[in-house]
Each structure stands twice: as C-alpha cells, then as structure tokens.
Amino acid sequence: ATVPDPVDILAVDDELDPTERDIRDTVRSFAKAELTPYITEWFEAGAMPRDVAKQIGALGLLGMHLEGYGCAGTSATAYGVACRELEAVDSGLRSFVSTQGSLAMYAIHRYGSDEQRQRWLPAMAAGEAIGCFGLTEPDAGSDPSAMRTRARRDGGDWVLDGTKLWITNSPIADVAVVWAQTDPDRGAKGIRGFVVPAGTPGFTVNEVRGKLSLRASATGELVLESVRLPKDAVLPGSGGLSAPLSCLSEARFGIAWGAVGAARACYEAALTYAGQREQFGRPIAGFQLTQRKLAEMAVTVAQASLLAARLGRLKDAGRLDPAHISVGKLANVRTALEVARSARTVLGGNGITLEYPVFRHMVNLETVLTYEGTEEMHTLSIGKAVTGVQAFR
Ligand code: FAD
C-alpha cells in the first residue's frame, strides 16, 4: 500500500488518463510560476491583466474541450482538471476561463454560423479576443425568462435595447454574446443570442465597482441603446431559453471541478499552517479539535473530487444530464465554502488577511454559490428531478 497523499487522500487523480494528468501538471506549474505570485495584487487592484488571457490561451485552456477553430479538443475531464487547478489559485481566474470558453465561445461554436466561428473562435482560443456572456438583467436573475432586453427587426437589421448586469469579463471584452427576446408576433424564435462587438454605437459597459468577492475578475453592466446590428449578428442556431441554458450547463460543469480546487487550496493552507503554528508549547495540528477540522477537510475534498471525476466521466460518455450538473455545482460549492470557513478558523487572526489565500477563496466562493444558478435554484432543480414536481414557479 502507498502512503496516502494528504491533499488527495483517496488518490482520486489515479482515475485521470495520462493526457489529463499532463494537463494537470502543466496548469499547476504555470499557475505556480505565473499566477500564484501575483494573485493578491490582482485581487487588491480589482483586475486581472489582459496579458494573462494570452498566456492562458497559449496553454490551450480557452474553449479547450471544443473541436476545431483553434480549440484544443480535449476531454471534458481534462477541461475540469484545468478549471480545478486554476480555481486553486483564485475563483476569478477560473471565472475568466469559464466565461470565455464555456459561455461565450461555446455559444458561438454551438449556435453560430461558420462565418461567426471563423471570425471569433481562433482569436478567442488564443486569448487575443475576450468574450462575455450577457444573460442576467437587473430584474431577471434566477428567472432569465423575464428578460426585458429586446431585439427587433428593422429592414434587414436587428436593433437591440436593454440592460444586462453582473456580466463577467465585460469591462475588458472585445465581443459580447447578448441574449434578447425577439418579437414573438412576427414568427421569431423567442430568446436568441446576438454577437455584439465592443465599440458598436449605442453599446456601453459600466464596470461594477466595490465588489468584495471575485475581485480578480472584472464585472460590468451592459447598456444597449438602439444598438443596430447587421442581419448576420444573430446566432442562427439559437431559439428559446434552452440555448443560453446549454451554455450555462457547460460552465457549471467546470465550476463543480473548480470548487474542488478552491477547497483543496484552503485545506492545504490550513494543514501547513497548523503544522507550523505553535500554541501551548506545541503545533496546533496536535490538538484534537484542530485535527478534527483537518480530517474533515481531507474527507470533504476527497468526496468533492470523486463527485467531479464522476461528472467528468458522465460528460465524456455523453450521458451528463442537467440534474447531474446541479448535484455537482450545489454540493461542491457548498462544501468548498465549508472547508474555507473551517480553514479560516485554523489560521486564527492570520485567516482574515490577504497574506494567506483562505479568506480570499472564502469571499470568492460567495459569488460562486450565487452565480450560474443559486444554491436554492439548484436545490429546486434536483427536487424536480427526484419528485417530478416543479416548485420554482
Ligand atoms: P435573484 O434571482 O434575485 O435571487 C435572490 C435570492 O432569491 C437568491 O437566494 C435566490 O436563490 C432566491 N430565489 C429566487 N427565485 C427563487 C425561487 N423560485 N425559489 C427560492 N428561492 C428563489 N450573469 C450573466 O448572465 N453573465 C455573467 O457573466 C455573470 N457573471 C456574474 C459575476 C458575478 C460576480 C455575479 C455576482 C453574478 C454574475 N452573473 C452573471 C449573474 C448571476 O448569474 C446572478 O446573480 C444569479 O443568477 C442570481 O440572480 P440575482 O442576483 O438576480 O438574484
């Protein structure tokens, strides 16, 4: 028998294939050299430098599980592993990758025309063009079907009016995928996606300031005032809410993996600290109450890893259902927050500073609990899957 690795006590990573393991090691060493040393600075400044997008793109992590158009075409599990390693640094970095690859690029890849794909995907895969995904509005969060943003036909053009809020990457984005209600009376297909380049007249972005969570990720409000777009700005394959929801499913899969990274990082920080910090003449790791916390973190991280691995294999087999994703997103983000809060106590006063990663992860995870479907909405989705009765409307 081999001695268990404290941070992967069940050796769940043995389930990875050699390519997935290579990707893990590559992302881990990139993170150690290029991300971890600067993350506190970016978090305090409230922004990630644009060059980081290019570095992440050069590694092949943007839209990495998509095929063609400069995308790496890896397994879903490999994409999950990359999300995990990035989120072990910061949820904001993983949010950048999720928004770019699983929301904006996936929408164009799955619902776009070949021209739209050619125009945007290679540049986005390289991190040279940054994308965002505008679904949420000030009055339509958990219920996106209540969106007010409208796209109407005017001659051959489309004209968009509306406001989107909480849009990740938008202050630095070159292109926005904007979801709008089209006129149902005129034979339109309901909610459709539009490709809106930055700088289009009438389209402005206001940065959301004063965030206490996910500070290394830029968030903004999109304002669309009579934004005139050509006929071919619509994503031709989109029609109905199922299109944006399918993109969210892609991103939520990455979040279920990413949360394992955040949890693991908090646990590792607590484990190291507990071994070094002495009180009452001995390391605090020697006290039973501290050991209980660390043992529970080890168990929780192992359970979350198993859950993510299971989702990965289901997705790679083409058998992943939205209910599976709800289980993963809900359970792993909730347990990551529990680990972060417990790790925070192990660090005592130091636990509240930016000098250690734990509090930063903890406040980031408050966003992760809310976005991409709140804890409550995923609970109700699982409730519907197991009872057959819909309770959220
Ligand atoms: P609400 O929907 O108003 O919910 C408030 C509370 O009511 C929650 O606890 C919710 O669970 C509860 N609630 C609502 N309905 C029910 C119900 N039927 N039963 C029980 N409880 C209910 N959106 C994008 O489109 N693109 C992005 O890139 C993006 N990035 C984001 C980045 C950040 C930092 C944040 C904070 C949000 C981001 N979002 C983005 C928006 C995010 O998806 C929404 O915040 C989320 O869907 C919740 O919507 P809301 O904030 O309007 O809350």
Residue whose C-alpha is closest to residue 225's, from 146, 163, 152, 303: 163
Report the C-alpha gap between 364 and 37 in whole angstroms. Answer: 18
pLDDT tens string 200-220: 999 999 999 999 999 999 999
pLDDT tens string 337-375: 999 999 999 999 999 999 999 999 999 999 999 999 999
The pLDDT, as a whole number, for residue 345 is 98
The pLDDT, as a whole number, for residue 2 is 78
Average pLDDT over residues 125-147: 98
Catalytic positions? 372
Residue 178, classed as helix, strand or coil, is strand
pLDDT tens string 252-301: 999 999 999 999 999 999 999 999 999 999 999 999 999 999 999 999 99
Q: How confident is the model at residue 189 (pLDDT cuts 50, 70, 90)?
A: confident
- Identify the residue whose C-alpha is closest to ligand 1 atom 38: 166
Average per-residue pLDDT for the chain: 97
Which of 136, 177, 191 for mutating ligand 1's site (highest number of atoms within 8 Å of CB)? 136
Q: Which stretch of DSSP H or E encloses residue 94?
A: helix 91-97
Nearest-atom index, ligand 1, CA of 244: 25
Nearest-atom index, ligand 1, CA of 99: 28
Residues at CB less than 6 angstroms from ligand 1: 99, 133-136, 141-142, 166-168, 214, 219, 367, 370-372, 374, 376-377, 380, 392
Report the C-alpha gap between 8 and 308 in whole angstroms. Answer: 13
Q: Which stretch of DSSP H or E encloses residue 365?
A: helix 357-370
pLDDT tens string 229-254: 999 999 999 999 999 999 999 999 99
Ligand 1 centroid, distance to 329 Cα (angstroms): 14
pLDDT of residue 186 exceeding 90: no
Average pLDDT over residues 112-118: 98
The pLDDT, as a whole number, for residue 29 is 98
Q: How confident is the model at residue 187 (pLDDT cuts 50, 70, 90)?
A: low
Q: How confident is the model at residue 183 (pLDDT cuts 50, 70, 90)?
A: confident
Report the C-alpha gap between 236 and 117 in whole angstroms. Answer: 12
Q: How confident is the model at residue 184 (pLDDT cuts 50, 70, 90)?
A: low
Average pLDDT over residues 165-185: 93
pLDDT tens string 15-61: 999 999 999 999 999 999 999 999 999 999 999 999 999 999 999 99
pLDDT of residue 304 exceeding 70: yes
The pLDDT, as a whole number, for residue 185 is 56
**Percent of the chain whose pLDDT exceeds 70:** 99
CA 139 to chain centre: 22
pLDDT of residue 313 exceeding 60: yes
Could you report how far apart the first and last alpha carbons of the chain are, in Å? 53
Ligand 1 centroid, distance to 142 Cα (angstroms): 5
Which of 106, 130, 371, 390 for mutating ligand 1's site (highest number of atoms within 8 Å of CB)? 371
Residues 135 and 107: beta-carbon distance below 8 Å: no
Task: List C-alpha distances in Å: 252 to 32, 72, 242, 304.
Answer: 25, 20, 15, 14
Ligand 1 centroid, distance to 244 Cα (angstroms): 15
Nearest-atom index, ligand 1, CA of 208: 34
Report the C-alpha gap between 230 and 220 in whole angstroms. Answer: 25
